[in-house]
Structure 1
């Protein structure tokens, strides 16, 4: 494959060469808000299943339509935390990804140790994904903690502000970051798999590098399935750490980190415990990733076209 054969890398989406940093940030913010808000009820079910509830308990059923609507409206509790956090976090996430991807790719092209251009693009996207994840998770983790506390079925918090204030008063600032190492250990492989899978699928589906919503949806869905399947066990550990303060189990409430959380899950549920919430997680991330990439690519195209 010659350099001319890979000119598409610079033309449109492979390296994001025709959109500015501001445009990437705006597109990323809209993509993050859209992704999380649309899939929020399923994400709430996933959180409840991961902390030990059954599907039936997580999703209220009732013969009364009024009671059913009122009960399942609780699945939206905490969504404002996502709106406040996902916008700036995803703006930073996608901006970091685009900038790092382009720079890493150019460095690899200038070097002599990697000749294959497909491998260059793979290394550039995966490395950029790591950088994007570090920036995103540091900003988003406190909002995620509040979100998951409010997603619990027995949550007593009435607002995002009240939840954040009470968690801080009771557990201190570390409550918002105790899950950060676990979050990063999950998010780095998740985002690396997601970005590389997305870019590869997109190349196979859209070799001409034209704006094509269908290819973005399909590539995003495949990337979401692959990434969420591999990282589910780490997500279960993360959920336990982020919701520990709301647990009635003293061992969980006093859990100090990843290794202890791992032991608790294994002692209570065995290896199957690490796949609690697997189905709702897939059902969340498959459409969510498709939505995120579709919205992001659309606004990136729209904003750059109407410069």
Structure 2
């Protein structure tokens, strides 16, 4: 590993990344949970208030079902978001760092790292999403997480908690690809050295969440239908798409897009800024020593095997022999900068040093002599001896 590769490595460990990711995931979902409940209501196909805007939907939930209705089911998210985001961020950081040894394509690195992190994250979070959305939907009979989990398991079996897993992967892999690529893009533009910079983390996170959420809204509507099962038993993604199109038309796939973007933009900004803060805080380093991730300049750079660490000096005698044998022209720059003394012959560097040591000492120069005082060659500050 050369010095450039060493300096490009992050200063945080896997344990720090996991701890920071768990805290960031829980805080993100808890803070934005009421807006997530509004999004689920707006994506519902059977809710009588599904055509309302964001504020009207939130007001309707509070006035008809109580002030605590928008946060019902939040405990399920807290239980699932911690371990899911812990492995999510640790997997992404570790995979991104390891892939720098095998590929020089930035976007390919982000796609592979984000996809692998999504596989692990969704395997943990998918059951909690089912419980959360069953409790968020209109006219839900569930008032506690344990009651909902037990009832779903008894009526539909364990497969109910992973019925939308394939759809969630189809949605989240492009979502996370856009998410991480956008975040890294803004980081490379605004924070190339990967220092702790809260404004940049919030801007990059918010932009990443907004872009990814807007593009993947149709798949999120399909996932909501599979999780809630509010139109009867829906077995797969294709059947869910047919039901949405039949009941709401093409515009049904974009239900709740505004709420989803307004939810994802601050949520990802909170998530990334919290994650970067705790990474910086837990590593215990000074700001000038801290590096959160591999940087854009030295990231994904191909290895240079031809580089040499040490350059040995060449003998002057060998150079002279090579010049006589090959009859190559001498280097002009070297001759101008270091002219050969007239006493030096072709015997080599050792004889040159010996002869130079026996040369008579040069006359001393009197630096106090003024130019106007010079009258003769012996009055210029040189001794007559």
TM-score normalised per structure 1? 0.86
1:302 aligns with 2:287: no
Distance 2:60 2:121 in 1: 36
RMSD over aligned Cα, in angstroms?
2.1
| Aligned pair partner of 1:76 in 71, 80, 85 | 71
Aligned to 1:176: 161
Aligned to 1:111: none
Count matched residues: 279
Distance 2:242 2:39 in 1: 21
Judged with a 3 Å threshold, the aligned counterparts in structure 2 of structure 1 residues 299 and 8 are, in CA distance, closer, same or farther, namely farther
| Aligned pair partner of 2:242 in 248, 260, 263 | 263
Distance 2:198 2:6 in 1: 17
Instruction: Note the alpha carbon deviations across 1:70-119, whole angstroms, 9 max, x for none.
Output: 624201000000000000000010011011010111222xxxxx4xxxxx
Whether the 8 Å CA contact 1:89–1:136 is kept in 2: the answer is yes
1:143 aligns with 2:128: yes
Q: Secondary structure at the match of 2:163?
A: coil
- Point out the structure with max Rg over C-alpha: 2
Structure 1 range deviating more: 206-215 or 195-204: 206-215
Distance 1:271 1:9 in 2: 51
1:200 aligns with 2:185: yes
How far did residue 261 of structure 1 move? Answer: 0.3
Instruction: Note the alpha carbon deviations across 1:35-81, whole angstroms, 9 max, x for none.
Output: 1010000000000110132336732349xxxx749624201000000
Distance 1:94 1:220 in 2: 14
Aligned to 2:52: 55
Distance 2:151 2:163 in 1: 16
Distance 1:253 1:9 in 2: 57
Ranges in structure 1 where 5+ consecutive residues have no aligned partner: 12-16, 109-113, 115-119
| Aligned pair partner of 2:39 in 29, 43, 46 | 46
Whether the 8 Å CA contact 1:45–1:55 is kept in 2: the answer is no
Distance 1:69 1:266 in 2: 30
Higher helix share: 1
Aligned to 1:211: 196
| Aligned pair partner of 2:21 in 17, 28, 37 | 28
Q: Secondary structure at the match of 1:107?
A: coil
How far did residue 8 of structure 1 move? Answer: 9.8
